[in-house]
Amino acid sequence: MGIELSLNDGDLISGTLDVLVLKALSWGPKHGYGIGRWIGESTDATVAVEEGALYPALHRMERRGWLESKWGKTELGRRAKFYGLTPRGHKQLIAQTKRWHSYSQAVSLLLDRPSA
Amino acid sequence: MGIELSLNDGDLISGTLDVLVLKALSWGPKHGYGIGRWIGESTDATVAVEEGALYPALHRMERRGWLESKWGKTELGRRAKFYGLTPRGHKQLIAQTKRWHSYSQAVSLLLDRPSA
DNA sequence: TTCGACACCTTGACAGCTTAGGTATGCATC
DNA sequence: GATGCATACCTAAGCTGTCAAGGTGTCGAA
């Protein structure tokens, strides 16, 4: 009765969250909760971001100087922390996007080969 | 003088190794060392598999019943452990390939949106 | 007043990768 | 015959990132 341990639908592929967050902010600041929603909606829930992954990621990226934050108010009048891209964050977005494309293309090509 | 911590070129994206190994074996058994070589060559070194990641992955996958192994000899006459896909491994290959495609497509679409 | 959505957060456990070692064999070269 | 390199296997420590599961507080609607 082995437990089937593998990647569940919706689960993140580790390491892809950062670039998604950076992209989310490339149109201007967003608050954390909204970033999570945005990623889920923009991928039709193919990518689901747990809050336990999201908030540490935001703090991490701020610590690295990719993001900066300030408290503000949402459209609904609620208190929220807004994150924006720093210049270094923008550079990261470029670099990680490039990296993602070459990596994912390489993997996809490989997986698309007819096997047998 | 901050250390630039991010994904280096060649580094694996965590969680993508399994499906690559499964694919490598979809044409028939290979030995561990050869699997690593094959992935590197097939992706023009875009994906580099460290041995410290590869061997634990093989053991893990065998433990899960996706692979089975037996000792044999390479073309060069060397002793090596050959891994082959089990039926469950084949099912995993199908499932994880599908998962990869939907995930990577979703991420790529998102990243391809013009930002600003 | 109770519930759900919004919005933030942390902690513990765990998986998987990197780095850095290690063993052993066979072949070629000095 | 020693030395080095490629082949071929392996492990351990340390780190990072994710998940699961909890928590706080506010607001509006029922």
Confidence of residue B8 (pLDDT cuts 50, 70, 90): low
For B66, name the nearest residue in chain A, comparing CA atoms only.
Answer: A4
Please answer whether residues A78 and A34 qualify as being in contact, where contact means their C-beta atoms are separated by less than 8 angstroms. no
Q: How far apart are CA A47 and CA A20, in angstroms?
A: 10
Mean pLDDT of the region A41-53: 96
Chain C bases closer than 7 angstroms to a protein Cβ: 6-12, 15-22, 25-27
pTM higher than 0.75: yes
Strand D proximal to A51 Cβ, under 7 A: yes
Backbone angles phi, psi at B53, to 5 degrees: -95, -40
Tell me if chain A has a CB within 8 Å of the CB of B2: yes
For A92, name the nearest residue in chain B, comparing CA atoms only.
Answer: B6
Q: Which residues face A80 on adjacent strands?
A: A72
Q: Which residues face A69 on adjacent strands?
A: A83
Residue A115: the pLDDT is 81
Tell me if chain B has a CB within 8 Å of the CB of A100: yes
What crossing angle do the helices spanning B87-112 and B17-24 adopt, rounded to 10°?
A: 130
Taking the CA of residue A15 and the nearest CA in chain B, the distance in Å comes to 6
Tell me if chain B has a CB within 8 Å of the CB of A20: yes
Q: How far apart are CA B31 and CA B38, in angstroms?
A: 10
Residue A67: the pLDDT is 98
Confidence of residue A3 (pLDDT cuts 50, 70, 90): very low
